[in-house]
Amino acid sequence: MKIDLRRDSTVPLYLQIRNHLQERIERGLLLPDTKLPPTRALADELSVSRVTVVNAYAELEAEGLVQAHVGRGTFVIDPRRRHLRVRETPYDWQTTLLRPTGVWASGMLADMLQLAQQPDLISFGMGAPATELLPVREFREAINRVLRRDGPEALQYDEAAGYEPLRRAITHLLLQNGIQARAGDVLITSGSQQGLDLAARVFTKPGDLVISESPTYLGALDVFQSNDVTVRGVPVDAEGMQVEVLQDLISRRRPKLIYTIPAFHNPTGVTLSSGRRHQLLDLAQRHDLLILEDGVCSELRYEGRPVPSLGAMDGGEHVVYVNSFSKFLLPGIRIGYLVAPRRLRERLVTMKQSADLFTSSLMQRALAEYLEFGHLGAHLETIRCVYQERRDAMLAGLARHLPRGSHWTIPQGGLCLWLTLPASISAARLYLSAIDHGVAFAVGSVFYPQDPGRSSLRLNFAAHSPAQIDEGLRRLGKAVREQLRGVSVASNAEARAKIPQDTRAR
Ligand SMILES: Cc1ncc(COP(=O)(O)O)c(C=O)c1O
Show pLDDT as tens, one digit a residue, over the chain (506 residues).
Answer: 888 898 888 888 999 999 999 888 888 888 888 899 999 899 989 989 888 998 899 889 888 889 888 778 899 987 666 655 544 445 555 555 666 555 556 666 776 777 777 789 999 999 999 999 999 999 999 999 999 999 999 999 999 999 999 999 999 999 988 899 999 999 999 999 999 999 999 999 999 999 999 999 999 999 999 999 999 999 999 999 999 999 888 988 889 999 999 999 999 999 999 999 999 999 999 999 999 999 999 999 999 999 999 999 997 789 999 999 999 999 999 999 999 988 889 999 999 999 999 999 999 999 999 999 999 999 999 999 999 999 999 999 999 999 999 999 999 999 999 999 999 999 988 998 999 999 999 999 999 998 888 899 999 999 999 999 999 999 999 999 999 988 444 444 443 443 333 333 34
Tell me, yes or no, if the pTM score tops 0.85: no
Residue 121 half-sphere exposure toward CB, CA atoms < 13 A: 21
Q: How far apart are alpha carbons 103 and 219 in whole angstroms?
A: 9
465-472 long-range contacts (CB < 8 A, ≥24 apart) are: 465/390, 466/389, 466/390, 466/392, 466/393, 468/122, 469/122, 469/390, 469/393, 469/394, 469/397, 470/393, 470/396, 470/397, 470/400, 470/401, 471/122, 472/122, 472/124, 472/397, 472/439
Can you list the positions of beta strands (E) in 224-346? Answer: 230-237, 240-241, 257-260, 290-294, 319-324, 336-339
Q: How far apart are alpha carbons 169 and 424 in whole angstroms?
A: 51
Strand duo 290-294 + 257-260: pairing: parallel
Distance from residue 294's CA to the centre of ligand 1 (Å): 8
Residue 356 half-sphere exposure toward CB, CA atoms < 13 A: 14
**Nearest C-alpha neighbor of 304 from the set 261, 269, 280:** 269
Distance from residue 33's CA to the centre of ligand 1 (Å): 46
Q: How far apart are alpha carbons 347 and 339 in whole angstroms?
A: 13
Under 8 Å between Cβ of 338 and 189 = yes
Helix-, strand-, coil-residue percentages of the chain, each rounded to 5: 50, 15, 40
Helix (H, G, I), strand (E, B) or coil at 72: coil
Question: Which residue among 106, 192, 300 is best mutated to probe the pocket of ligand 1, counting the most ligand atoms within 8 A of its Cβ?
Answer: 192
Q: How far apart are alpha carbons 288 and 162 in whole angstroms?
A: 29
Q: How far apart are alpha carbons 63 and 76 in whole angstroms?
A: 12
Q: How far apart are alpha carbons 4 and 136 in whole angstroms?
A: 52
Q: Which atom of ligand 1 is nearest to the CA of 331?
A: 10
Q: How far apart are alpha carbons 356 and 360 in whole angstroms?
A: 10
Distance from residue 34's CA to the centre of ligand 1 (Å): 45
**Nearest C-alpha neighbor of 322 from the set 224, 198, 212:** 198
C-beta 261 within 6 A of ligand 1: yes
Q: Which atom of ligand 1 is nearest to the CA of 261?
A: 1
Under 8 Å between Cβ of 232 and 225 = no
Distance from residue 193's CA to the centre of ligand 1 (Å): 6
At 28 the pLDDT is 80
C-beta 326 within 6 A of ligand 1: yes
Separation of CA 389 from chain center: 24
C-beta 191 within 6 A of ligand 1: yes
At 115 the pLDDT is 72
Helix (H) or strand (E) holding 251: helix 243-253
The closest residue, in CA terms, to atom 6 on ligand 1 is 193
C-beta 189 within 6 A of ligand 1: no
Q: How far apart are alpha carbons 25 and 82 in whole angstroms?
A: 11
Helix (H, G, I), strand (E, B) or coil at 298: coil
Distance from residue 327's CA to the centre of ligand 1 (Å): 8
At 72 the pLDDT is 84
Q: Which atom of ligand 1 is nearest to the CA of 297?
A: 1
Question: Which residue among 324, 329, 363 is best mutated to probe the pocket of ligand 1, counting the most ligand atoms within 8 A of its Cβ?
Answer: 324
Question: Which residue among 170, 217, 268, 458 is best mutated to probe the pocket of ligand 1, counting the most ligand atoms within 8 A of its Cβ?
Answer: 217
Backbone angles phi, psi at 10, to 5 degrees: -80, -10
Residue 146 half-sphere exposure toward CB, CA atoms < 13 A: 26
**Nearest C-alpha neighbor of 163 from the set 368, 376, 372:** 368
At 505 the pLDDT is 39
Q: Which atom of ligand 1 is nearest to the CA of 323?
A: 11
C-beta 259 within 6 A of ligand 1: no
Distance from residue 386's CA to the centre of ligand 1 (Å): 21
DSSP alpha helix (H) spans, 124-217: 136-150, 164-176, 191-203
Under 8 Å between Cβ of 211 and 217 = no
Helix (H, G, I), strand (E, B) or coil at 430: helix
C-beta 336 within 6 A of ligand 1: yes
